[in-house]
Structure 1
Amino acid sequence: MIKEKLNIAFFGSSIVSAYWNGAATYYRGIVKALHKMGHEVTFYEPDIFERQQHRDIEDPDWCNVIVYQKDKVSLRGLLRKAQEEADVIIKASGVGAFDDFLEEEVAKMKSDHNLVIFWDVDAPATLDRIENDENDPFRKLIPQYDFILTYGGGQPVIDAYEKNGAQKCIPIYNALDTDTHFPVDADKKFDGTLAFLGNRLPDREARVEEFFLKPAADLPKHQFLIGGSGWGDKPMPENVEYVGHVYTKDHNAFNCTPMAVLNISRDSMAKYGFSPATRVFEAAGAGACIITDYWKGINTFFEPDEEIMVVKDGEEMKKVLSELTPEKAKKIGKAAYKKVLAKHTYEHRAELLESVISRKLHHQTEEVKPS
């Protein structure tokens, strides 16, 4: 029998700072839910990119946080500690420091008494990278991990990873953290017809122009808001207000105040589909009317036209916004809120994670029992 409480070591980008770190909310939701289920998680994160100076939260009581300096000596010591103490060792993609080193070292930690997992929070980018470079060092490591877990991607990502030798690939989708994202009163500083929140990234910018800036220019009587890092020098129509980095504590008001909020996928996420952004579930948890660009698999999570609105280009966006009324927006938001509470919370995701880990550990333990 497996002990009920698992000790999990998690090497990721950051769990205490969302600054240039879109995975923070995802990590928090998963880890907090695991803690509620009785497991102990230690999250190891590097002190880089000024994230510690832009923390959204202090060290939480639901997770042990160890911040390490960017040097391999410190990191080797932490890896030894994880190997000695943890039942499950997770290396996430995009840590931002010594990623290749961590991927190789964690894979080598595999024993009869633990699991090693690679958790890909940007599977489309990783898969595109290894497909384009047959010498990519991660390619040979894939079969050494017990599981490849992914932030999304559905069957196309599962097939691609298993083609590259993964023992088992399982999507653990984004979800709603009901402790942090919920309906609140409107805040006048976020008033508008449509609001978009997302950092400026090369494989998103063209879609922001198509689905947000172009319709804004064509609808001068409507007010638009854009939040996130990096947009300060981007030319925008006069009816678009740039509100800068929006801290996690303001996300609920940002989602609740405008008539609708926009989700725009990165090119790589849209290509593979089945990759709802964290902010889709955050917005649904606030009861927002969500408008999203089209991607395959949307109806796996929300019913189009009833729980979410889907547009395929800027012209469709302009039409939807011209016809959208506050009453219709409120109805769609309420339906999304009901769906996300029923099927898409981090408790749902953590239950799936616990079940696959427990089954694997149990099977592994049975195999090594002396005859």
Structure 2
Amino acid sequence: MREKPLDIVVLGLSLSSSWGNGHATTFRALLRSLAARGHRILFLERDVPWYAAHRDMPAPGFCRLELYPDLPTLQDRWAGAVESADAVIVGSYVPQGVAVGEWVQRTARGATAFYDIDTPVTLAKLRQGDTEYLSPELIPGYDAYLSFTGGPTLELLMQHYGSPAARPLYCSVDAEAYRPQDVPKRWDLSYLGTYSPDRQPVLERLLLEPARRAPDLRFVVAGPQYPADIAWPANVERLDHVPPAEHPAFYSASRYTLNVTRADMVAAGYSPSVRLFEAAACGAPVISDIWDGIETVLRPEEEIVLAADTEAVLSVLRDPDSGRQERIAQAARKRILSEHTAEHRAAELEAHLREALHRKAPARALAWAQPFPAVTATQRELP
């Protein structure tokens, strides 16, 4: 027996543009797999100039994408869709996110969820009284809080902030799009990520200083918004933007790639980044900074290398054991493909939404548990 597919509305930061954000690639992989399970998805995105100038997916084939210019237009045009949807998901960093969330909670008859791709950053903002896209008052009104961070943070969301159901929903990787490429190795160590002031000291310690001390090795930092006054060593190549379609080739051209985590996420722990999953899926062995819970994602020294300082990075890059790199890469790719693909996350998301629906409207939810004959080849049995 299969349950009826869901009509889902997602209000997220961006689906159309991956420029300067990690939200788009996360949404693309997740929603593509969710659509493959038979669900119907409407994605509503605020039309803003910085994404309009860099749209690399203006017409996704797996869902309906609609842009809106402002909050009044969103409310006037899409109230019916939000009201009738089985589930409505609001993402972190949505412009005017508090007003959007209040409107969704007033309007939606189905389950509502907040999808936090930035949970530790969000909680740090709330502690500082910053309600850019979420307020403490909104949290109990969402039927589920879907968090990029697991571990103790989930209890904090429920016990302190009153969420009725905080559930982990880590990022994931599109296993079809992210796979090893047969390209020459261009760099000994790469890093892909938008500039962030709190990540920069770690990037300095784990990549720039190793580059200064090892002028014979090759490095690259890819991503936008880096200040013009950064003193890049001569052996560090700079790429302003690498489109998602080119990520597999970028990672495959790296002997090792670096994972650097934002300070709030290090403090919270249990916050793996999408870049970690994508790099591992492409067969690039990862050197990462250290935070609680990373061992629940990849086993240190077997599937990932942890480094606290410059010396640790240089030790890895100059390791005479030529087979270590390949062993770590293969083990990490196997682990990611068995536990952290978009298909895994889509199944988890569906389960969380159905759980919220059953809590909110038992009679309506039970009516959905009827045989559904129109089953596509890509649909999978529920876990």
TM-score of the pair, normalised by structure 1: 0.92
Q: CA separation in 1, counterparts of 2:72 and 2:2?
A: 33
User: Which residue of 124, 135, 138 maps to 1:138?
Assistant: 135
Aligned to 1:28: 28
Aligned to 1:48: 48
- How many residues are paired up? 362
| Higher helix content, 1 or 2 | 1
Residue 205 (structure 1) aligned with residue 203 (structure 2): no
Q: CA separation in 2, counterparts of 1:135 and 1:298?
A: 29
Aligned to 2:379: none
Aligned to 1:301: 297
Aligned to 1:94: 93
Q: Deviations over 1:324-343 (max 9, x none)?
A: 65432122111111111111
Q: Deviations over 1:138-172 (max 9, x none)?
A: 11111111001112x21222122111111110110
Q: CA separation in 1, counterparts of 2:236 and 2:72?
A: 48
Determine if contact 1:225/1:241 at 8 Å carries over to the other structure: yes
Equivalence map 1:158-169=2 (5 Å)? 158-162=154-158, 163-169=160-166
Q: Deviations over 1:203-235 (max 9, x none)?
A: 211111111111111111111111000236221
Give the 3 Å change call, closer, same or farther, for CA 20–72 of structure 1 in structure 2: same
Instruction: Give the unaligned 5+ runs of structure 1.
Output: none
Instruction: Give the unaligned 5+ runs of structure 2.
Output: 366-383
User: Which residue of 97, 101, 109 maps to 2:107?
Assistant: 109
Give the 3 Å change call, closer, same or farther, for CA 155–105 of structure 1 in structure 2: same
Aligned to 2:153: 157
Q: Which amino acid aligns with 1:311?
A: A
Aligned to 2:237: 241
Equivalence map 1:240-279=2 (5 Å)? 240-279=236-275
Query: 1:109: Cα distance to partner?
Result: 2.6
Aligned to 2:13: 13
Query: 1:349: Cα distance to partner?
Result: 1.1
Q: CA separation in 2, counterparts of 1:324 and 1:23?
A: 38
- Secondary structure of 1:307's aligned partner: coil
Q: Which amino acid aligns with 2:214?
A: L
- Secondary structure of 2:104's aligned partner: helix
Determine if contact 1:211/1:313 at 8 Å carries over to the other structure: yes
Give the number of the structure with larger relative contact order, counting CA–CA contacts within 8 Å between residues 6 or more apart: 2
- Secondary structure of 2:182's aligned partner: coil
Determine if contact 2:144/2:352 at 8 Å carries over to the other structure: no
Q: Deviations over 1:122-147 (max 9, x none)?
A: 11111111122298871111111100
TM-score of the pair, normalised by structure 2: 0.89
Query: 1:345: Cα distance to partner?
Result: 0.7
Give the 3 Å change call, closer, same or farther, for CA 356–260 of structure 1 in structure 2: same
Aligned to 2:37: 37
- Secondary structure of 2:298's aligned partner: coil
Determine if contact 2:98/2:138 at 8 Å carries over to the other structure: no
Q: Which amino acid aligns with 1:317?
A: V
- Secondary structure of 1:139's aligned partner: coil
Give the 3 Å change call, closer, same or farther, for CA 135–272 of structure 1 in structure 2: closer
- Secondary structure of 2:198's aligned partner: helix
- Secondary structure of 1:194's aligned partner: strand
Q: CA separation in 1, counterparts of 2:227 and 2:353?
A: 44
Determine if contact 1:232/1:244 at 8 Å carries over to the other structure: no
Give the 3 Å change call, closer, same or farther, for CA 85–2 of structure 1 in structure 2: farther
Aligned to 2:373: none
